Structure 1
């Protein structure tokens, strides 16, 4: 593994630089050494103005271009699972963070070092704590404390997308449906009222629920409302007096947070509903000229992003954003996580052609 004091060589090709980043452990909350290395490597390039807030590093060009494009990627990974150091097998690079998302960060660093005369002004954001609770997310800290650093006309979040543009992201809402009854001895069940049995109607509504498919900018988002947890029961001889069904609503980004919550409450009308977690979606913004140019440069194909990502933070700031990175999202967080070396090269080549 790389020493925390080892410098990053941004002249390495994308695959080799990804391997260096992967061998630089940076589990969420322990990104300082990597942030130090990224900052030092970027400060060696005079065409970039480099700032830092905590373990978040931002580098920018200031060439007076008509538009600014922002590329963002997180430095942290999930906990290491006996998958370091990295290793190469044919076209595949294995190791913690290869797909999510040090391959994308490597592409960012390569572009930051070599694009000295881009056709847009560029901002490169490297942030911490994406893989853990939202309150610690470095991009969220920047949005609150240094929003001027994130100003742009268009943003690309280098999240794994198999080198295909994934537009926007879904919103996500979690809520608890609380059902009550009367506790009693199970031998005299007629004296009680079984709260778990009352969950049948909640589950019935979920089973009959017909999720919408919503088209936005030519992308189809599929909504979903599902039970993800049921809690209830006291003992093997007790009629339970409480049961809680937790549901998760994944919704298209054309819904507001208020509309999403109202929809869930409508579905479960008559029950006690408590929203426990909620993050809005992000519109794809593919009709914007910058997005159209980006699509053309990256193969002309796009699909909806199923899941929530930090593009929602850019959307909240009024910056249209897409997900685009070389990693495979289906491999993220896996013990055998890996990334295609050719996908890293392809992703860099396409971005370079678009920006250069």
Structure 2
């Protein structure tokens, strides 16, 4: 899984950051009862969405009968859990959706030495999306989100809720056997078999090939979800509010690589964002069809001539509108909910991060939202033109 410190290895390049490889000293520091008490007083909910819409949510369990699961073939057809977030009408209070199930939180934190209250702290983190909310009137662009390797879809909830409040339908996807724990409606809990395979790969080349398979396999998942949301027999009863002519795909870590892979494989994706993910599938010399693409990541790791050479090569081969944006003081998890979860539990998992949680959340929301407004709504965003005084941490690479 991941609330994990980023390791500069082939495995870490695929991984996001929950709690798989936290150093022993850190794990021991989390085990005392004072941690839970401090966290409970610190962060009770995700940051509030900034848009004008109320946010509704619904969970879909989808099965792709055309594909056998690549990680556990004996399981049969590929299964996906998808959380939808959408603009909703005000007036019907409903109940807020849980952040994740307790069993999923237990799986995420297993083996880390946290006390028995820790899963409850994570699963009970307050959200702002309401179940059974009625969709707002109109037609809205669609954004598909893919989380980091080992991370549950819950870790992109803050971004998903914010985008829905701004007038987007958002589908965040749990890719089967690629998360520490994904609970299905029938009670099964799928664990990260792909993570185990990655850890036991016999060579660097084998790990790279597995990384490519994760990226391209997720691309197939994302295309399937798009089919089920916009096809002739949609899986969501309110799919009529989706505008299938305005679709973007975005992801964190290997989910960001999968966003590029999805654009390479499927022309229906009009725009894409890679948040701090090494490209596992090379961008071809021919580019991705002159469609806009943004790379948003840590300035220290993802910089010209830096450790991740895939960003240098990928950026040069992108043939449409493009931006390479680095964030100084950020870490690999800064573009997810992990900073909020750190506050919730009263811990610091990556001491190299100097940005406050508020800045990490705000920068991610603002730049992702600006990119989508410009390319799915045709509204020019000055924020994407270059450096701004209000965002001194943001660096435009290779302008």
Calculate the TM-score normalised by the size of structure 1: 0.30
Larger Rg: 1
Q: Which has the higher strand share?
A: 1
Higher RCO structure (Cα 8 Å, ≥6 apart) = 1
TM-score, normalised relative to structure 2 = 0.28
